[in-house]
Amino acid sequence: MFVDQVKIDVKAGKGGDGAVAFRREKFVPLGGPAGGDGGRGGSVILVVDEGLRTLMDFRYRHHFKANSGGNGQNKQMYGRGAEDTFVQVPPGTTVRDAETNELLGDLTEDGQQLVIAKGGRGGRGNMHFANARNSAPEVAENGEPGEERSIQLELKVLADVGLVGFPSVGKSTLLSVVTSAKPKIASYQFTTLVPNLGMVQLDDGRDFVLADLPGLIEGASDGVGLGIQFLRHVERTRVVLHLIEMDDQTGRDPFEDYQQINHELETYDPKILERPQVIVATKMDLPGSSELLAEFKQKLAAAGDTHEIFEISSITHQGVQSLMNKTADLLAETTEFPMGDVEEVQTQKLYQYQPEAPAFIIEQDEYGTFIVSGDKVEKLFKMSNLDHQDGVMRFARQLRSMGIDEALRESGAHDGDLVAIDNFTFEFVE
């Protein structure tokens, strides 16, 4: 099964907690604090594996979590840093934030990496908190929480040449003739439901990747039929082979089909039409195909279209070799076409002003408990070690410096009222 779009959840590892410990050795009285720092949490990193061709693996696994760092130890020993978690993706994967739709990266080269969730730093041990006023502090930090986010992975196949055209015009048949690929072929609409890739190898040593893409219908650029699935993948191609069937039994006008396909391409992305395009007249072995082709050429000339036309029959192999040679020549002359949004990510970063979120918000629930929330205060709570009295007093001083005490009084808090931060509840003291 070909899977080209998935949503996954990633969570980096938490940093290790700092230790509260003291130096206890014979003949060393009052040795002082010796609690070590916690280790760094593991990050979640996407890495390109050229052996993958689909996002199928993510169909059964949607959650990826890195390990937390080791806690600090006595004798000023640091905790072990956690190993990063690497997630393999196929080349051509575009990564976006699932909530904001921000483009995070475009992974195209084998071995390319993208840190998608950064691990938290380790908490400091009590050896960092000694001072002249408190030479034996029982204060340590917990590790910083790791980043957590949902991302959208979208695969756009990396093919040099794309076969475009209406359903059942002979794209899959041509692919099976010129490559070792074995796509499913039948005489009904929408035989190709997913992209098929094949390697074309010419006698002169040249080779390129050819993609048979799902057929288009009218309105494909607006999501009708399989259009969007197709158009997503044609963005990567450098040369477009536009297949038009010359079968007078279908009742279709080849010139109208040709115009309709180009209209859908232009509507989706005008830059696609800037790429070299070759018109391929297929099924030339059928009766009446020559007359239909002559009429098509007349309409093409009247419209001022100068694209080169190749006549082929995949069944008899007529004109197939010359078409492949021409395609290889065009590839040698054509450079890659960068995608606009990807190019912006690689060369520049757009910084926009965003109002700073409040450090905390105070609300009161139905039971009268004051709920203090906010990213900054919740992170402070998670990194505070409340197992020791010194740690509790330090946390209280930090809350006071943030202005939470005064804000609680303004909200109507009195002595003895309950205050909750995350899952920690305490009494308010005037």
Q: Which residues are annotated as a binding site?
A: 165-172, 190-194, 212-215, 282-285, 313-315
Q: Which is higher by pLDDT, 179 or 90? A: 90
pLDDT for the residue 224: 40
Residues forming a β-bridge with 202? none
Tell me, what DSSP letter sits at residue 118? P
The answer to pTM > 0.75 is no
pLDDT for the residue 352: 62
Q: Which CATH code is given to the segment(s) 1-155?
A: 2.70.210.12
Strands of 207-212's sheet, edge to edge? 196-201, 207-212, 161-164, 239-245, 277-282, 309-311
Q: Which is higher by pLDDT, 55 or 111? A: 111
Q: Which CATH code is given to the segment(s) 161-344?
A: 3.40.50.300
Computed over every residue of the chain, the mean pLDDT equals 81
pLDDT for the residue 11: 95
So what's the architecture of 361-427 in CATH?
Answer: 2-Layer Sandwich (3.30)
Give 388's contacts (C-beta < 8 A, 6+ positions apart).
20, 138, 139, 140
DSSP string computed for 16-46: PPPP--B--BTTBTT--B-PPPPPPPPPEEE
Q: Do domains 1-155 and 161-344 have the same CATH topology?
A: no
pLDDT for the residue 36: 92
Distance CA 97, CA 100 (A): 6
Q: Which two tokens stand for residue 380?
A: 């402070």
Q: Which two tokens stand for residue 119?
A: 């691990």
Q: Which residues are annotated as a binding site for GTP?
A: 165-172, 190-194, 212-215, 282-285, 313-315
pLDDT digits (tens, 9 = 90+) for 269-323: 777 788 888 888 888 888 888 888 898 889 888 888 888 888 888 888 888 888 8
pLDDT for the residue 230: 54
When pLDDT is averaged across residues 217-242 and rounded to a whole number, the result is 58
Distance CA 276, CA 59 (A): 36
When pLDDT is averaged across residues 97-102 and rounded to a whole number, the result is 86
∠284-285-286 over CA atoms, to 5°? 90
Taking the domains of the chain in order of start, what are their residue ranges? 1-155, 161-344, 361-427
pLDDT digits (tens, 9 = 90+) for 182-229: 544 444 344 444 567 777 888 888 888 787 776 554 443 344 444 445
Q: Which residues are annotated as a binding site for Mg(2+)?
A: 172, 192
